[in-house]
Structure 1
Amino acid sequence: MRQFTSIIVCGLLFFLAGVLQFSAMPRIDIWGAHPDLLLVVAYSLAVLVRPGQGALAGFVSGMLIGGISGATLTHYILSRTVVGYALGMTSQMEPGIRAAAGLVAAGTLVGQLILMFLAPPSGIGVFLKVTILEALLNGAIAIPVFALLRRVVRPKVV
């Protein structure tokens, strides 16, 4: 029953992140960078689960962002699945909230660099500046998201 509840909560969180990503996040502009809530949810979840499940979280995030925005799915799915798998490898260390925020920020950087090589943008300098700012924003947003997901996915046994 606990696993079913975790799946439902994670699905609802992905849905909510997708809705907010395309309704509210374009209005939040910090020096040209916009937080990526789907990425934050996927990578925060990937830090908590096994590598295969982390890859699945990255896949779902890439599928949603590519499908909703109308972009080529391959680039988003591949970059986010690879990073989700890599972050899933860190779940054995059971990172704390600060470490998870750093991992989400680093995952954002790596994922965007993979995306840059798969689909090169027109202005690489601007893209890198925005990527660094986005990584910092995503790391900050990951703190409450990770805390929520940790309570749902890995409850403490008394």
Structure 2
Amino acid sequence: MYAKCGKISLATQVFNAMESKDVLAWNTIIAGMAIHDHVKEAQQFFKEMKEAGVEPNDITFVAMLSACSHAGMVDEGLLEEAMELIGTMPMEPNPCALGALLGGCRIHGNFELGEMVGKRLINLQPCQSGRYILLSNIYAAAKKWDDARKVRNLGRSERD
């Protein structure tokens, strides 16, 4: 609650006072730092989480991708590393993780990776219109107008 309200120091105090920290507690503090652009702190908590022997899950990876993306730390080279990270996660990446990566691809103009992730997301969630829109925007930014139009039309036909 403190982190969501922007009271980062209070959120940190509560977290540090906890005797036992499970993956939910770690994810909460990492996500709290991420949404308020405290990326270095989120990275530090992620490091401490692993050192404490708590296994990150898909929510952890989404929080870290989000933190890095919001802070502008996801550039062309790091997008490739993010995809590699998602590919080596001990669990199947969920649509939230892939969606964060797709958003980073759109922001940073990574057409090739964006196309691959967008198609994967559409296969996973064919009824989510936002996936079609993001992929269409990626095609449009690359001036691939026919592909952009096809994806938009495909998204419309899935809604109907």
TM range (shorter): 0.3 to 0.5
RCO comparison, higher one (Cα < 8 Å, 6+): 1
> What's the TM-score, normalizing by structure 1?
0.33
Bigger radius of gyration: 2
> What's the TM-score, normalizing by structure 2?
0.33
